[in-house]
Amino acid sequence: MSNSLPLSRRDIIEARLAEGRQIVAASLAAEFNVSEDAVRRDLRALAAEGKCRRVYGGALPLLTPSQPMAVRVGQESGRKRALAAAAVAMVEPGEFLFFDSGSTNLAMVDLLPKNLKATIATNSIDIASAIMKRGDIPLVLIGGAVDPVVGGSVDASAVAAIEAMNIDRCFLGVCAISARSGISVYEHADAIFKRTLLKRSAARIALITSEKFHERAPHRIGGAGDVDWLVVEDDLPADDEKTAVEAGLPLVKASDVILPISKDKE
């Protein structure tokens, strides 16, 4: 294995990994004015040294730390918007919806049609604010102590509020997913909140960007039988898709969602 990485580039990549940042090969190639193949060789060298995990399109830190919601909102907005558009197609008029705290769920708000005649409940400060700015969707805000990493309330009072609800369709926030470990998040209280949310929802959906198939998070929410659909990106690597499908995870590609989906339409 060649160890000819320029020191300045090595230092920059290692520093970003130490900050918990994902490395995207295409972006790095443009930044350093080198080919993507050159960047991939760089990342293979760093992975061999135990300094990152190689994933489709780049690399991740060995363990990605939690990032505050305020940071996540501005990341990969185009990809999240594509997933959000698919999720909006699943919504039916008149439903009682729950938008769990998450930057991809936030992207749904602007895409919802006018005169939806649905009510949205959320524990997210950012999602609630976006709904209020629209002014055309009834809102139920779940209160409690706000967790800055989660971006919303997930404490005991928030759990109690969810226990009293009959939710038609929830859009779950997810940090990590795997065939072996199921669906997981970083925060313990958030996991408890989400398990309650799943229990009180008739239809349960999560929007999954591809890198989450390579993330690790300590607190498990559930497995394949606890969600109804995992909406994934169209370019999800074939190996990840195959492994997930074989484990029974209910994947649907974003471009395949063309009509509202109800529990009685499976």
Q: In the CATH hierarchy, which fold is given to the domain comprising 7-60?
A: Arc Repressor Mutant, subunit A (1.10.10)
Q: Which of 7-11, 144-148, 213-217 has the highest mean pLDDT?
A: 144-148
Q: Which of 42-46, 142-146, 203-207, 221-225 has the highest mean pLDDT?
A: 203-207
Q: Which residues have C-beta within 8 Å of that of residue 252, sequence separation ≥ 6?
A: 86, 229, 230, 231, 232
| Tokens encoding 2 | 């060649």
pLDDT of residue 148: 84
Q: Which residues have C-beta within 8 Å of that of residue 87, sequence separation ≥ 6?
A: 105, 108, 171, 205, 207, 231, 257
How does the average pLDDT of the chain come out, rounded?
85
Exposed e or buried b for every residue in 88-114, given b needs 16+ CB within 10 A?
bbbbbeebbbbbbbbbbbbbbbeebee
Which architecture, in CATH terms, is 69-265? 3-Layer(aba) Sandwich (3.40)
Q: Percentage of residues in the chain with pLDDT exceeding 90?
A: 46
Model confidence band, residue 261 (pLDDT cutoffs 50, 70, 90): very low
In which element (H, E) is residue 152 found? strand 152-153
pLDDT of residue 266: 41
pLDDT of residue 3: 47
- Mean pLDDT for 37-66 is 78
pLDDT of residue 180: 82
Q: Which residues have C-beta within 8 Å of that of residue 266, sequence separation ≥ 6?
A: 228
pLDDT of residue 187: 87
Tokens 């994934």 identify what position?
A: 232
Q: Domain residue spans in the chain? A: 7-60, 69-265
pLDDT of residue 122: 97
Model confidence band, residue 181 (pLDDT cutoffs 50, 70, 90): confident
DSSP 255: G
Q: Which of 6-15, 70-79, 195-204 has the highest mean pLDDT?
A: 195-204
Q: Which of 34-48, 136-150, 191-205 has the highest mean pLDDT?
A: 191-205
- Mean pLDDT for 113-140 is 94
pLDDT for 265 beyond 50: no
Contact between residue 121 and residue 97 where contact means Cβ atoms under 8 Å apart: yes
| Tokens encoding 106 | 């936030």
CA angle, 160 then 231 then 82, to 5°: 110
Q: Which residue has the higher pLDDT, 74 or 218?
A: 218
State how far the alpha carbon of 56 is from the alpha carbons of 206, 238, 259, in Å. 21, 10, 30
pLDDT of residue 263: 44
pLDDT for 203 beyond 60: yes
CA 61 to chain centre: 17
Q: Which of 49-53, 114-118, 138-142, 173-177 has the lowest mean pLDDT?
A: 49-53
Q: Which of 24-28, 118-122, 192-196 has the lowest mean pLDDT?
A: 24-28
Contact between residue 175 and residue 215 where contact means Cβ atoms under 8 Å apart: yes
Exposed e or buried b for every residue in 33-44, given b needs 16+ CB within 10 A?
eeebeebbbbbe
- Mean pLDDT for 187-214 is 93
pLDDT for 40 beyond 90: no
Contact between residue 69 and residue 124 where contact means Cβ atoms under 8 Å apart: yes
Amino acid at 81: R
* 191 vs 27: CA distance, rounded Å: 33
